Amino acid sequence: PGGVDDEDGDRHLFAQVATLDAPARDGRLSVANFVLRESVGGGKFGEVWRGLRVATGETIVLKRLLRGVPSSTASGYREAYFGDLLQGTVGVAPFLTHFFDEAGDLWLVFQDSGVSLYALLYARTRLGAGGYSLSPSEWWRTRLRAGGLKVVMIALLRALSALHATGVVHRDVKPSNILINQTGSLVLCDFGSAVNDQAAANASLYPHGLHERDETVDYQPPEVRLADGSVPPDRHASPAYDVWSAGIVAIELYLGTPSPLTALSGLEWHRSTFEFHSALGTKLRHSAQALEASEPARAARLFVASALADLCVLEACSDQSLATRLSVLDPLRRKPSLHFVRMVRAMLAVDPAERATADQALELAYLL
């Protein structure tokens, strides 16, 4: 396929990986066909807007991918491809159409499916210099304590079950990519890191191969996150990948803590000499600060491994031990139920072959 650094190459790649809606009947679709009402996200890669489709009055969400950022453009092509491929799939945010503007930026148009789970979970407090801090929201304190966690996990796993039945793996399941509307319906969005079971399509979607930079590291499974060197493609493309990510989301929902693996070990890790067994059974003992200075990539892997050891993933411990650990980390100091702990452990099995599938997780006692 063509490259992603020039407009002709961009459009050639797009034509190869997606067959999408025809343009609007009155000519080429453009921003003029929509009313942009509210900015709901953005950054150096692009913008996200909530607005209206002029012809129908339908509430929609528009995502603009900047042409000058090749990785963003490539991700946008994948979103459009999977949006078209997954039309009508339960638990997937409905994709409507796409267009290019006069500057060559790609716009994706979606049905408005609600707000992100991330926005529901966290309250922002503004700090100096434009920064902010996050704390658990009132929604987290009230809705999730009243059985909402179980409801969210059932809906999430049902969405993953339907997705995996199509042969597609999301590879970036996290609260910001989970949308919930006012009726409580849940869908997955942002398929810019997804793969399917069609090798030819994946080759076009990822001309340079699958790479962990296309994913969010805090939700990566150990077979990818802790790998020292290149990762076989099947580790990136297994449904077990998404189940692991959903297991991390479950812990995040329980604790009200973003990126919970990072939060588990915290600053004490950086001040200590730590010791644990890796997934390969090798005894490790390092000064964290010295390792961060000399081998930052390895230090990052060991940091996650240390957090996984706390979660009884890399080291054996009892259900009671994990329940106690989660209780200590919980700002409300609740003790989780045994059924919740067992669900988490089934979804976070270190061996992907032993990890529960989405369907198997739905049969666990906590979710019945």
The residues that bridge with 179 in the sheet, in sequence order, are 116, 187
Query: Do residues 107 and 99 touch, judged by C-beta distance below 8 A?
Result: yes
Is 44 annotated in a binding site? The answer is no
- The residue ranges of DSSP E strands in the chain, in sequence order, are 34-43, 46-53, 59-65, 95-100, 106-111, 115-116, 122-126, 132-136, 178-180, 186-188, 273-277, 283-287
Q: Is the pTM of this model over 0.95?
A: no
CA atoms within 13 A on the CB side of 261: 27
Q: Is 64 helix (H, G, I), strand (E, B) or coil?
A: strand
Query: What's the CA gap between 111 and 13, in Å, rounded?
Result: 25
**Which domains can be identified in the chain, with CATH numbers?**
7-112 (3.30.200.20), 116-367 (1.10.510.10)
Q: Is 180 helix (H, G, I), strand (E, B) or coil?
A: strand
* C-alpha pair distances (Å), 347 with each of 138, 197, 220: 27, 22, 13
Q: Which residues contact 298 (CB under 8 A, 6 or more apart)?
A: 228, 291
Query: What's the CA gap between 320 and 131, in Å, rounded?
Result: 38
Burial of 95 (0-12, 13-18, 19+ CB in 10 A): buried
Closest to 292 measured CA to CA, from 284, 301, 281, 283: 301
In order along its 368 residues, the chain shows pLDDT tens digits of 233 334 444 444 444 444 433 333 333 568 889 999 999 887 667 899 999 999 999 999 999 998 888 788 888 999 999 999 999 999 999 999 999 888 888 999 999 999 999 999 999 888 777 677 888 999 998 888 778 999 999 999 999 999 999 999 999 999 999 999 999 999 999 999 999 988 888 888 888 777 666 667 889 898 888 776 666 666 678 999 999 999 999 999 999 988 887 766 553 444 344 444 344 344 444 555 565 666 667 777 777 777 787 777 777 788 998 899 889 888 888 899 999 999 999 999 989 999 999 999 999 999 99
* C-alpha pair distances (Å), 277 with each of 142, 224, 320: 39, 17, 21
Burial of 292 (0-12, 13-18, 19+ CB in 10 A): middle
